[in-house]
Amino acid sequence: MLKLHTKLHALTPAFASNLRPGSANSASPLLRAALSSLRGLTRRSSRSSDLVGHRAFFCSDSDSSGDVVVHVEAKAVDSEAEEVETKSSSAIVSTNPRPEDYLTVLALPLPHRPLFPGFYMPIYVKDPKLLAALQESRKRQAPYAGAFLVKDEPGTDPSLVSGSESEKNIYDLKGKDLLNRLHEVGTLAQISSIQGDQVVLIGHRRLQITEMVSEDPLTVKVDHLKDKPYNKDDDVIKATSFEVISTLRDVLKTSSLWRDHVQTYTQHIGDFNFPRLADFGAAISGANKLQCQQVLEELDVYKRLKLTLELVKKEMEISKIQESITKAIEEKISGEQRRYLLNERLKAIKKELGLETDDKTELSAKFRERLEPNKDKIPPHVLQVIEEELTKLQLLEASSSEFNVTRNYLDWLTALPWGNYSDENFDVLRAQQILDEDHYGLADVKERILEFIAVGKLRGTSQGKIICLSGPPGVGKTSIGRSIARALNRKFFRFSVGGLSDVAEIKGHRRTYIGAMPRKMVQCLKNVGTANPLVLIDEVDKLGRGHAGDPASAMLELLDPEQNANFLDHYLDVPIDLSKVLFVCTANVVEMIPNPLLDRMEVITIAGYITDEKMHIARDYLEKTTREACGIKPEEVEVTDAALLALIENYCREAGVRNLQKHIEKIYRKIALQLVRQGASNEPAIAEVQVVEPEEALVECADDLSIKAVESETGAEPVEDSSHEQTTDTSIEADTVPTDLPADQPSDSKDATDTKKIQESEATKTIEKVVVDSPNIADFVGKPVFHAERIYDRTPIGVVMGLAWTAMGGSTLYIETSQVEQGEGKGALQLTGQLGDVMKESAQIAHIVARAILLEKEPDNPYFANSKVHLHVPAGATPKDGPSAGCTMITSLLSLATKKLVKKDLAMTGEVTLTGKILPIGGVKEKTIAARRSDVKTIIFPSANKRDFDELAENVKEGLDVHFVDEYNQIFDVAFGDDQNTGK
């Protein structure tokens, strides 16, 4: 379209005559008179200022015998008209040959609107070959091309297709396919400028395509079209043109969008004639591209004027609708401003009469509305406080600081769920099902929750409890809390107190402080909306202590069943009933919890998972969840039981399953990358075999195959090969189509042949499943982290296997003793292995007890009196402490002194007193699991731990020969009972 950088001053008649000699006679005097009124309207809109440095672009019409392109440089137009004439005359550039001599032109597709003679249009050329051809023709002093509108795709609504989609489809068209999509009638366009991929075109005359010359870039032969002869004095034509001009004048009164387009034409009125008037009206209207193309193709001047009149009349109706919308919006805005002013006046009147309430009445109404549903359930003392505060709120000024404090206080008081309880689930079977769905094992925790439900069902109501789940990281303490809430049909709220050092986080701030607010429990009740939620307090063993008090002491009131029925938050300052709340605390080390706080909890120990339990959890929970999260189908991957077992024993030996989950996620991420890489290698074959209807076919170059493959994956239109060479490529590459490629419906016999080949290829292809097994597990998760704890297949003299508890769950360790030197009276004990104070004392006791037992068993053996013995506990870099290795140390020392081997596959644990009594130890389950992992067949435990061992699952105790002892002599009989164990 014609582009006007700024408004122009009126050009002198002499200048207009220089533009086109004799053009003043091309229109009748009556038409010129009508157009003068249109020129006067546009002049009035631009007469207010004199502008400097303007430029306008226009060219000759289709009836001109030569090509004229004028660049006007206007310099403060005034009385120096002769200087303007000189500049404009020098701007006229003639081209040789003339435009009508071009019978073969490059075809440029126009996606949005046709180009009319006399107007310019910027377009973007994405085809590098076409852009190079345009630049070459411009260098050869032949800057002309044919601009043709692109037809819409069959079966599509042009109004529903976005510009980006249509342009994308146009850029993909080549050769005959592009020719079939172009309208036959277009415009001969002069290439004004080329900047990057933007080409500015100026329309000259109408063209009609006759045949194609070349395909890439598309070059066509054209015929130059001329308007049909008409009688310029015909009254009907005159009347139609006057109506067009009259409608244009009406539109200009209501819309300023067209003034820039009209002004340039009104400056040189002699340029207008009936055909150009029709083109002008259609070009600047907002009609769709098909209606504009219809005007461009019409060679009968009267019919063209009628079509243009319809378009400008429709534009007039649109302008009226726009004006009515603008008027309605202005009325609405003015109405709102009027209402605002009236409200302000009303407030002022009420204030003068003493009736002003500001927003206080609305606030009071809002607070009372909150209380209304549960007013009968609110305790009387709380209602009394609320009423007092509401009365206080009415007496305060809205601008005072106390007003905001009172408003926030009432907001919290009325937002709490006073007496509002959720309906609990008393169905034990359903609760059991929910707990089993989310977690495997954890029998103690599940049993305790079912007991809680059973008591509530018998009583008809439930009370709150304080349960503490203790265990190593990753065993499911936090996640089981959410499952318990779902099983009980209670709301769930979690907060962590790890590192908490401020009492105010538990008890709240007093309202005298700026920014005071209630804390965790009050926030919890407000968020969940019920008075009986399940509150999970995480990391209760990691409470801090700072200058702001001791939070552990502050939690005594919160977690005391006798006190939390009247829990007092410092901010609210009214008692809150927390007796119905079920508190579940989590801790890693129970010993870190202060005794007064621990006394209020019911501790349930979660020792960890054995290998069998980890296998079930990995197979039934972790693997399934991870596979879905990675978007991998079950049939695409198989992780064998041997791989999971190797993963658990060599990489994830800790008590929990968090590290196991990380390793499984790592395996599936690598599998996902492997599957995507396999799919990417097959992608180029996908685009080569897709087929569509002939109207949608695109001609592809051999260099663009990889680009088309990407487009087909991202939802681009499927293509049908039209050349013989591309058909050959399709038949060759059809054998590489993957099995998940859908076969398109064939549109002809060639497409049916291609589809048949695709289906045959699909039948021969099978999905390559990724198998993860123990031999290749290292390819996914790297080298094993843990190696076998068992150093010796058969322990030598002076070496005995012990059992230890660690944060990882449990492990075996060896006590090694060796003789350093021997001599009269040189008996001594040397210790290494980074032992703690308790373990060092235990070693000294073991040395004394071993000397006493050796004296009893072999009175003539003075070994300990005359030998310096070195006792070591590997590994040296690991800190070790605790008394439970006492019996193991004694056995190691006696083995060295008596030169006897201990029983094969034997492990023991137990604290020894100075008189040889065996005291109980902890971590029976973890130590038993560690013994099974090291293929231990015989275990020695203190007799006091028999009850703990009996509570273990049968699969943990299976295949173990366990001895329970009260004193060391029983251990001596078990360890050295076989005389054949004597060392040689």
Q: Which of 791, 823, 799, 829 is nearest to 899 (CA)?
A: 799
- 228-254 average pLDDT score: 77
268-282, 347-361, 657-671 — which one is most confidently predicted on average? Answer: 657-671
Q: Which residue has the higher pLDDT, 585 or 293?
A: 585
Q: What pLDDT was estimated at residue 790? A: 67
Q: Which residues pair with 75 in a beta bridge?
A: 52
Query: Looking at residue 196, what is its pLDDT?
Result: 81
d(CA 899, CA 984): 8
User: Could you write out the three-class secondary structure of 921-946?
Assistant: CCCHHHHHHHHHHCCCCEEEEEHHHH
What does the alpha-carbon distance between residue 155 and residue 694 come to, in Å, rounded to a whole number? 13
Give the pair of three-digit tokens for residue 698. 């695109």
Is the pLDDT assigned to residue 1 strictly greater than 60? Answer: no
Residues of the chain above pLDDT 70, percent: 75
Task: State percent of the chain over pLDDT 90.
Answer: 18
Find the largest Cα–Cα distance for the chain. Answer: 149
pLDDT-derived band at 715, boundaries 50, 70, 90: very low
Closest alpha carbon to 590 in 922, 956, 926:
922
Pairing of strands 811-822, 867-872: antiparallel
pLDDT > 80? residue 276: no
Reply yes or no on whether the pLDDT at 964 is more than 80.
Answer: yes
| SS3 of residue 962 by DSSP | strand
Q: What is the pLDDT of residue 111?
A: 80
**Residue 419 pLDDT > 80:** yes
- Which phi and psi angles does 214 have, rounded to 5°? -145, 160
For residue 792, pLDDT over 70 is answered with yes
What are the start-end ranges of the H helices in 693-824?
Answer: 705-713, 724-733, 749-764, 778-781
pLDDT at 828 over 50: yes
Q: What is the mean pLDDT of residues 184-203?
A: 84
Lowest mean pLDDT among 147-156, 562-571, 772-781, 784-793: 784-793
**Cα–Cα distance for residue pair 900/585, rounded to 1 Å:** 50
Helix (H, G, I), strand (E, B) or coil at 494: strand
Which position has the higher pLDDT, 816 or 554?
Answer: 816
pLDDT at 158: 57
State residue 742's pLDDT score. 41
Write the secondary structure of 417-471 as one string of H (helix), E (strand) and C (coil).
Answer: CCCCCCCCCCCHHHHHHHHHHHCCCCHHHHHHHHHHHHHHHHHCCCCCCEEEEEC
Q: What is the pLDDT of residues 861-891, one digit of tens each?
A: 888 888 899 999 988 778 888 888 899 999 9
Rounded CA gap, 222 and 225, in Å? 9
Is the bond leading into 217 cis (omega within 30 degrees of zero)?
A: yes
Q: How many CB atoms lie within 10 A of CB 526?
A: 14
- List Cβ neighbours of 3 (8 Å cut-off, separation of 6 or more): 57, 120
Does residue 698 contact residue 173 with C-beta atoms inside 8 Å? Answer: yes
The band of 67, judged by pLDDT with boundaries at 50, 70 and 90, is very low
Q: Please, which pLDDT band fits residue 100 given cuts at 50, 70 and 90?
A: low
Q: Which residue has the tokens 């006394």?
A: 599
Model confidence over 133-146: pLDDT tens digits?
A: 888 888 777 788 88
Question: What pLDDT sits at residue 168?
Answer: 56
What are the φ and ψ backbone dihedral angles of 406, each rounded to 5 degrees?
-65, -40
Q: What is the mean pLDDT of the chain?
A: 75
What digits encode the pLDDT tens for the residues 626-672?
999 999 998 889 999 999 999 988 888 787 899 999 999 999 999 99
Distance CA 707, CA 598 (A): 67
Comparing C-alpha atoms, which of 745, 737, 727 is closest to residue 691?
A: 745
Which among 407, 414, 378 has a CA at the least distance from the CA of 392? 407
pLDDT tens-digit map of 906-931:
999 999 998 889 999 988 888 888 88
Distance CA 900, CA 889 (A): 15
Q: What is the CA radius of gyration of the chain?
A: 47
Q: Name, in order, each residue with C-beta under 8 angstroms of 120's C-beta and a sequence gap of 6 or more.
A: 1, 2, 3, 57, 192, 200, 201, 202, 203
Q: Where are the alpha helices (DSSP H) in 546-687?
A: 551-558, 595-598, 611-617, 623-629, 641-650, 658-682, 684-687
Q: How would you classify residue 978: left for phi > 0, otherwise alpha for psi between -120 and 50, otherwise beta?
A: beta
10: Cα separation from own chain's centroid: 60
pLDDT at 979 over 70: no
Mean per-residue pLDDT, 96-114: 77
- Between CA 761 and CA 74 the distance in angstroms is 71
Q: Which two tokens stand for residue 393?
A: 């709120």
Is residue 439 over pLDDT 90? Answer: no
Phi first, then psi, for residue 56 (nearest 5°) are: -125, 150
Backbone φ and ψ of 607, nearest 5°: -70, -30
C-beta neighbour count of 938 within 10 angstroms: 18
| Active site (catalytic) residues | 884, 927
- Report whether pLDDT(195) > 80: yes
| pTM of this prediction exceeds 0.75 | no
Cα–Cα distance, 371 to 378 (Å, whole number): 8
pLDDT for 661 equals 93
Query: Residue 983's pLDDT is what?
Result: 42
Check whether 763 has a pLDDT greater than 50.
no
In whole angstroms, what is the distance from residue 597 CA to residue 585 CA? 11
The answer to whether 110 and 178 have CB atoms below 8 angstroms apart is no
pLDDT per residue as tens digits for the range 17-46: 333 333 334 445 545 545 555 555 444 444
Lowest mean pLDDT segment, chosen from 105-109, 646-650, 695-699: 695-699
- Does residue 979 or residue 641 have the better pLDDT? 641
Q: What would the two tokens of residue 259 be?
A: 């003034």
Residue 697 region, left (φ>0) first, then alpha (ψ -120 to 50), else beta?
Answer: beta
pLDDT, mean of residues 260-266? 58
Sign of the C-alpha dihedral, residues 320, 326, 329, 331? negative
Higher-confidence residue of 217 and 378: namely: 378
